[in-house]
Chains A and B, each alone.
Chain A
Amino acid sequence: MIQYNTGKSAKRRASSTRSPTPSLFEILSSSNYSPMSDNAVSEEASMDGHPPNLASIPASDSTIWADASPLLQAACTGLRDGELIHGDNFNLFAAMSALEIMDPKMDSGIVRTYYSIDEAIENGAAPIPISPDSTVDVQSTIDIMDHLLACEAAWHKGHSLAQTVFSCIYLLRLDRTAPHALLHSYCRVTRATCKAVVSLVSDARTHEEEDLFTMMYGLPLNGDGDDKCLSMLNAVEETISRQLRACKAASSKRRLPEDLEPLQSNPNLEEGFCKALLCRLRFRKHFFHILACMKRPQGRGLESARKHIASCTTELESILKSADFLRSCFGESCEGDIDDKTTASGREPIGFDAMLNSRLSAPMPPRAIKILSWKKAVEYFVKLLHDLDVICSHSLDEHLESLLRFVVQFQKSQPDLVARSHLQLLLVQDGKLYGRDPFFAVITKAAALPEATKNHDIQKNESILQLGMLVMNLLKILCTNAAWQRRKLGKLLQDWRVIYVQLELAFRNAFGEVSSSSNDENICMKIFQHILLWVEEQTYWIAFRFLILGFELELYSTSEYCMVYWYLYAVLIKLAEKTHLKMTVSYDTAKRKGKKKKDSPKDLARESRIPPAVLFLQCYMCLAEGLTMMLAALRNEISVFQSPGPFNTEQEKFAQHFELLQRACIPDHVSYPSYKESTTHARFSTLAMYNYFKDAQRIVKEVKSSFSNDPDRLSELRKLEQVAEHNSVAQNLICRLGALDPSLKVSFEFSHHPFFPTVVVKRS
């Protein structure tokens, strides 16, 4: 469309009957268009038909505006059904990203309230001071602080920064809040905190699926002087502390030498407001400190972080307690459910507009997001602080094996992105564990090699270096959300299998080349043996995690349980075997180093005894086998838990679920035919012959004492015991009644354990 020339009078045309919105021609002709002034170019028209005063594309000598509506009308009439006029480079696939301008579902440029931040401010959307009444001003400031906290929690939980924290007009134009020291310092610390958190999560780079988090959209996150934000906050805190002391002194009739100006005009509310403000300011201060401490390399700041976490938690408790006072101080009854409100007082905060930034979020369609309620926001931060505390209290001097168990345990509480990023950055820094231990050293320790091995030249070997990278990536992946984690673990299986083959080859070459020193040969061979065994064990551990995460993510339907438990059993056998072998080899190595001159009876006994870690795995094996056989028998006898579809069979589902494992040959010689062979003969009569669940119960009893100092594993054993007990009874019931009672209903509930269900038998 070409522009209308200056000076010519505009002829009004009726707008096209199709759309209810005015044509651009109409807007231009009715606007206060001044051709001589230097008007800013604007891109959008407003929804309600009022032309923005500055809207125009400047005319030039060689262009005029002309109304193209009749031309378009004629084209529409001329086109037949199904015909499309398009340019040469038109492409249907690309056209899918087209937006229909002014469709509220798609056009994020649609003005809802204000045209721009400046217009919002001009219209009094974010007044400074917030109110001429100092009491209302203080109350409103607290509301803003609370709503900001709710926004921050909503951001952490996965919404965009633009529509949450930066929906705050005060934050968008921070400098204008300078006269209001309280609001200004609070906003500045909030901005600096957000910047620190964005930086943290970006560094962790765990956010492929969570990349909405770090999208800054050109928001003003970098402020001059933000590094001084804490001193500003401290100054304000100090003032309010003095005020609190003063009003406490006044109430107890003691007079302080200073004659301070009160915070607000109602002396009865002064103390309550001071307290409410202080805990909020202190929360921000300590939270900022936590981030700074935890960022310090090699975990040096963890102890300090813990202190700040404790203070932060205390302040959160005070913040929660302040709600009663804030709600009551005006005697207003608030509309609607207080629990849904984003402020402690229940009042709507002043100075927020989420749609102001919606243009920044384009091309995403405009979406109203729900900010967390204030209560839920506080709960979120309480949990975050708890998760951070768990990270900070973890010892940095552990075996890789127990570190892996710690990470798995930590993930059980479903920590959010910010906590997980902290963990990942603590574990992997500068290509080393905790930024301190080279991964080769970590591997040799994990493979039960002597301490001195970590200095061996073999670490320069290409395959060894790659193995180090694999371990590093494994740690990072274990810190991500379960859904993403499982996909990555599946891909890892191939890498670990390949590295095993490469290592085997590399070691054979190195071993073959070493000519003279038989001592070196011995050492090389030992490293070879230990590391290869350890790699295999780790590979099966990854396979085990991959399979059981499927339960947490609800990827398996009941009709698929039989094959899943069967495959799990196959993986567990190998895992137990490799674990046991590794322990035997390391024990032998220790013996050969001359540590034991004679085999004492105790040593002999220990050698023949199965290590507790292996027994633990055997317990899993019994449960897996028991469930496989029970499911197979149920399917074979009474045709339940199978779902024949019209398009494919169980074989295709097997291929799909275990594709990545099969491709990496984990384990070898495991296939659909062998699965069928193992399960096709299961019947209630065969089930009655052997009770794997009783085996599991027996093992649990035997192994409990070995883990008396390990509360996590004890807890796990207790859960396994419950599952075993229930399922043993259920199995007996099924065997006795299964064939006779057609009304028997069997269901599987994960009520005691996350990946081993309790079998529930009912007669309907």
Chain B
Amino acid sequence: MEAMPEEKAEFEEAEIKYVSYGGEHHLPLIMNLVDQELSEPYSIFTYRYFVYLWPQLSFLAFHKGKCVGTVVCKMGEHRNTFRGYIAMLVVIKPYRGRGIATELVTRSIRMMMESGCEEVTLEAEVTNKGALALYGRLGFIRAKRLFHYYLNGVDAFRLKLLFPPPRQELSPSLDT
């Protein structure tokens, strides 16, 4: 995506504050971030759908008062499975590569798990190496390939994360 080496922001990971969606005042921040970074056109109702119905699943990342990243999700019953869905994930360019997206997604997934979701799913362009690596590390598999999914002709992967059945002991790495 980037042709020129970008100016990277200088910060310590501890300086990033993660906040759960808190209300209407967060909506313009999310919208600006997503409008800026993603090419899909979303009307304001698209955002409202997610953050009104599942406010606990959306998170924002702030650095010194500036919103630098966000994740927007939903969950619900889908063909007899209770499933989470990651709709949008954005981190502005100067802040990428430092684990912010991973942290945002992890928080959301944990919330989904605690809410009883059996699995989590999303779509990503097959060319989006960064996203594929991120989700791969979190345990998602590439369940399907969707031919020419995006209107620009690019294929997509449907990524899916299956939670272990509730009886199983949680792995120690969950206690972060």
Chain A residues packing against B (C-beta within 8 Å): 81-82, 84, 92-93, 95-96, 98-100, 103, 105-106, 157-159, 209-210, 364-365, 367, 481-484, 486-487, 553-557, 560, 643-649, 651-653, 655-657
Contacts and interface: CB of A to CB of B under 8 A. Distances in A.
B31 to A, nearest CB: 12
Contacts of A556: 142
Contacts of B155: 483
Interface stretch (B2-10, B62-70, B90-98, B131-139): B131-139
7 contacts: A96-B46, A555-B143, A555-B157, A645-B137, A645-B161, A647-B109, A652-B161
Given A105-B41, A649-B171, A656-B162, A95 B147 contact: no
A371 to B, nearest CB: 13
A367 B163 CA distance: 38
B113 interface: yes
User: Which 9 pairs, one residue from A and one from B, show the smallest C-beta to C-beta distance?
Assistant: A645-B139, A105-B41, A95-B45, A82-B24, A483-B145, A483-B147, A652-B162, A553-B145, A81-B24
Contacts of A560: 141
A483 B148 CA distance: 10
A100 to B, nearest CB: 5
B28 to A, nearest CB: 11
A646 B149 CA distance: 29
Contacts of A649: 164, 171
Interface in B2-55: 23-25, 41, 43-46, 48-49, 52-53
Interface of B: 23-25, 41, 43-46, 48-49, 52-53, 106, 109, 113, 126, 136-139, 141-148, 151-153, 155, 157, 160-164, 171, 173-174, 176
A209 B48 contact: no
| Highest count of chain A CB atoms <10 Å: which of B24, B43, B52, B160 | B43
Contacts of B113: 647
Interface of B is mostly: mixed
Nearest to A212: B148
B142 to A, nearest CB: 4
Contact of A646 (B23, B44, B106, B152): B106
B161 A647 contact: yes
A380 to B, nearest CB: 14
Contacts of A481: 147
Given A98-B45, A652-B163, A653-B139, 12 more contacts: A92-B45, A158-B153, A210-B148, A486-B145, A554-B142, A554-B145, A647-B138, A647-B139, A651-B164, A652-B162, A656-B141, A656-B143
A207 to B, nearest CB: 10
Contacts of B146: 209, 483
A648 B24 CA distance: 34
Contacts, number: 115
B66 to A, nearest CB: 21
Contacts of B173: 644, 646
A367 B142 contact: no
A647 B163 contact: yes
Contacts of A656: 141, 143, 160, 162
A316 to B, nearest CB: 24
B153 A157 contact: yes
Nearest to A208: B147
Contact of B164 (A93, A484, A648): A648
A92 B53 contact: yes
A92 B141 CA distance: 31
Contacts of A487: 144
B53 A557 contact: no
A100 B44 CA distance: 9
B151 A643 contact: no
A645 B138 contact: yes
Contacts of A483: 144-147, 155
Contacts of B41: 103, 105-106, 365
Given A82-B24, A648-B161, A656-B160, A643 B46 contact: no
A36 to B, nearest CB: 40
B171 A210 contact: no
A81 B22 CA distance: 12
Contact of B147 (A99, A484, A557, A646): A484
A554 B43 contact: no
B142 A555 contact: yes
A646 to B, nearest CB: 5
A481 B147 CA distance: 8
Given A483-B147, A554-B126, A652-B139, A644 B164 contact: no
Contacts of B25: 81
B100 to A, nearest CB: 16
A96 B145 contact: no
A178 to B, nearest CB: 36
B139 A557 contact: no
| Highest count of chain A CB atoms <10 Å: which of B126, B139, B146, B153 | B139
Contacts of B48: 84, 92, 95
Contacts of B174: 646-647
Nearest to A558: B136
Contacts of B109: 647
Contact of B43 (A98, A648, A653): A98
Contacts of A486: 144-145
Contacts of B153: 157-159
Contacts of A92: 45, 48-49, 52-53
A669 to B, nearest CB: 22
| Highest count of chain A CB atoms <10 Å: which of B25, B145, B161 | B145
B73 to A, nearest CB: 14
A593 B152 CA distance: 61
Contact of A655 (B24, B106, B162): B162
Nearest to A100: B43
Nearest to A364: B151
A99 B48 CA distance: 14
Nearest to A480: B147
A643 B134 CA distance: 12
B53 A648 contact: no
B137 A209 contact: no
B145 A555 contact: yes
B43 A644 contact: no
Contacts of A210: 147-148
Nearest to A549: B145
A553 B147 CA distance: 10
A106 B42 CA distance: 8
A100 B35 CA distance: 14
A753 B137 CA distance: 27
Nearest to A95: B45
Contacts of B152: 367
A448 to B, nearest CB: 36
Nearest to A103: B41
Nearest to B138: A645
Contacts of A99: 43
A653 B164 contact: no
B138 A652 contact: no
B167 to A, nearest CB: 13
A560 B141 CA distance: 9
A646 B142 contact: no
